[in-house]
Amino acid sequence: MGEKIYCYCRLARLNQPIGIMLLLWPTLWGLWLSTIRGPTPSVLIIFILGVILMRSAGCIMNDLADKKFDGYVERTRTRPLVTGEITHLEAVSLAIGMVTLAAMLVINLNLLTIKLSGLALLLAATYPFTKRFLVLPQAYLGVAFGFGIPMAYAANTGNVPLEAILVLVANVFWAIAYDTEYAMVDRKDDELLGIKTSALLFRSKDVLCVFIFQFLFLFCISFVGWLKDFGELFYVILLVAFVLVIFQYPLIKYRNPKDCLRAFKKNNWVGATVFLAILLEIYMNQS
């Protein structure tokens, strides 16, 4: 029984929390940027649990869609669906269960947030298939991973202002950057299988493009701070995020798969630093 539960955890990537964090940080940005004093405890709990459930369900949907490819990729050939440790029916049932639990959470929010959650589910379910036809599926991933931002604004304010869209655009730039690093890990396998990724699109300019999109991401966040009249502390902490981005260069410049994966994971600290900048600015303004 314990081994089966562990297989379910592997299927939902609960043993790899980096994906949860990359989805959670943008959601937390939105929750705090859309309020003066921060979200209520109930809204915060709903969004955190929702992120965990939807990211896990999204991973299962991804594995169901990519089952015929994953066995040919070094990094994914031991996934439970590929090895047969989990059946197709079990995976579908687990995904439905997680989506159902997420729906039970979101019905406690306003109507606009509920409507947006339906679109969020559509994005999560269709993302795995974009790698077949979109030359830059990472942009689609950025929208899917950042959709907690407009939902957070909707939950706190009842609308989705232009500011929310700008933060979402920032997240798209960030996702293109970090998921390009991730795609650099599987470049050879993806090319053989005919899967489209940003690493293949950018080719020899991949490292340069990673940093262009990281800088666009930080520029957009800085612009949001300017629109909200944030103080110097906000930009000082963003400078720390900028330094963390620069530190990724030694890891990806030689395109070694293991180092590219390490660089990808370090984006957790970039997202956390941006959240810290927002959090401290908001609470400093209250004092």
List the chain domain ranges. 2-286
149 and 171 Cβ atoms separated by less than 8 Å: yes
- What is the reported pLDDT for 228? 95
Helix and strand element counts for the chain (H, E): 17, 0
**What kind and span of H or E run contains 127?**
helix 111-130
- What is the reported pLDDT for 111? 98
- What is the reported pLDDT for 60? 95
**Whole-prediction pTM value?**
0.96
Residues of the chain with pLDDT under 70: 1, 286-287
Q: The CATH number of 2-286 is which of 3.50.50.60, 3.30.70.240, 3.40.50.300, 1.10.357.140?
A: 1.10.357.140
162 and 33 Cβ atoms separated by less than 8 Å: no
Q: DSSP for 233-282?
A: HHHHHHHHHHHHHHTTHHHHTT--HHHHHHHHHTHHHHHHHHHHHHHHHH
* Distance (Å, whole) CA 170 – CA 173: 5
- What is the reported pLDDT for 4? 86
- What is the reported pLDDT for 287? 59
Burial 133-149 (b: 16+ CB within 10 A, else e): ebebbbbbbbbbbbbbb
- What is the reported pLDDT for 159? 97
